[in-house]
Amino acid sequence: MEHIAVIGAGTMGNGIAHTFAQSGFKVNLIDINQSALNKGLQTITTNLDRMVAKEKITSQKKEDTLKNISTYTHLDTGVKGVNLVVEAATEHLDLKLKIFKELDAFCETGVILATNTSSISITQIAAATSRPEIVIGMHFMNPVPIMKLVEIIRGYNTSDAVTQSIMTLSKQLGKVPVEVNDYPGFVANRILMPMINESIETLYNGVAGVEEIDTVMKLGMAHPMGPLQLADFIGLDVCLSILHVMYDGFKNPKYAPCPLLVNMVRAGKLGVKSGEGFYNYSESKKAEKIAAQFLK
């Protein structure tokens, strides 16, 4: 594999494009919105500049990485000639099914179709195509250029050959791939989201305050970031969406989202990206400081 298409120029999409491009792959970054593509490229450039400043890469490496990325606003042209597509669009089932149906029509035979979904069934997504044996999950962690883990999720029909190919590819990116099977939340979010949800319940029930809960988990459990702070970093809307997928998939009340989380999302308090969640990020670039703390 030498030529990759990445669908979606948001936080995860531009991070995935950055990672592939820095590893020497040609990347077609696709988004229906040109301004989103411009913003994604600016984020990649900023992150590369930070790496140059820290002497993790050279200026030449930065330039080579940016040259490896081309942008497209049309799916049919963006996926021409690629060996692998990684979808990183918004975490909504209907949108993903629509994208994969279109990918099935536009991509050449043999092109592997991957999704960066953090919780939606790979088997269900694959069913929208005529090639379910070459549909697979590649769940990267945020921030993608920094975090080593990639969950490799096999759908019910995903072939051994495709799974092994994506495991090998992930190692080429300097990542640590872990193979998991296709059940709601996979491994990462099946364990993480109930912890975050229980932390919100703890706050909701008045057991302790936001900073107190996070301090207990950071100092007592050696977590680099408290669960409420992490929820803000992920996005409270994303956390809510994942919990809904898990609750629908398992029909187990332990995955039911806390009413406080539901209300905060309804009120637009989504965390870092909205400027306010469990913490307020509107003053003194607090969000950047927290992100910098997490990325050390």
Residue in 189, 199, 241, 274 annotated catalytic: 189
Q: Is 271 part of any known ligand binding site?
A: no
User: Does 11 carry a binding-site annotation?
Assistant: yes
β-bridge pairing 149-154 and 135-140 = antiparallel
**Residue 189 appears among annotated catalytic residues:** yes
Contact 170, 86 (CB under 8 A): no
Catalytic: which of 139, 170, 197, 274? 139
Neighbours of 256 (CB within 10 A): 13
Residue 157: active-site member = no
Q: Known catalytic residue: 151?
A: yes
Q: Is 15 annotated as a binding residue?
A: no
10 annotated among ligand-binding-site residues? yes
Residue 136: strand pairing partners: 114, 154
Q: Where are the alpha helices (DSSP H) in the chain?
A: 11-22, 34-53, 59-67, 75-78, 93-106, 122-126, 160-172, 188-204, 210-215, 221, 227-234, 236-250, 259-266, 286-294
Give me the phi and psi of 194, to 5 degrees please: -60, -35
Is 54 labelled as part of a ligand binding site? Answer: no
Structure tokens at 174: 């300097």
Residue of 145, 163, 28, 164 whose CA lies nearest to 86: 28
- Interior angle at CA 83, CA 82 and CA 89, nearest 5: 70
How many residues are recorded in the chain? Answer: 296
User: Contact, 224 vs 294, CB < 8 A?
Assistant: yes
State yes or no: 31 annotated in a binding site: yes
Is 139 part of the annotated catalytic residue set?
yes
Q: Given 118, 119, 121, 241, which residue is catalytic?
A: 118
- Is 28 part of any known ligand binding site? no
Instruction: Determine if residue 9 is labeled as part of a ligand binding site.
Output: yes
The residue annotated as part of the active site, out of 14, 116, 151, 197, is: 151
Q: Is 226 annotated as a binding residue?
A: no
Q: CB-side exposure of 252: number of CA atoms within 13 Å? A: 9
Cβ neighbors of 106 (< 8 A, separation 6 or more) are 75, 76, 79, 80
| Residues involved in catalysis | 118, 139, 151, 189
Residue ranges for the known binding site are: 8-13, 31, 91, 96, 118, 142, 273
Annotated binding-site positions for NAD(+)? 8-13, 31, 91, 96, 118, 142, 273
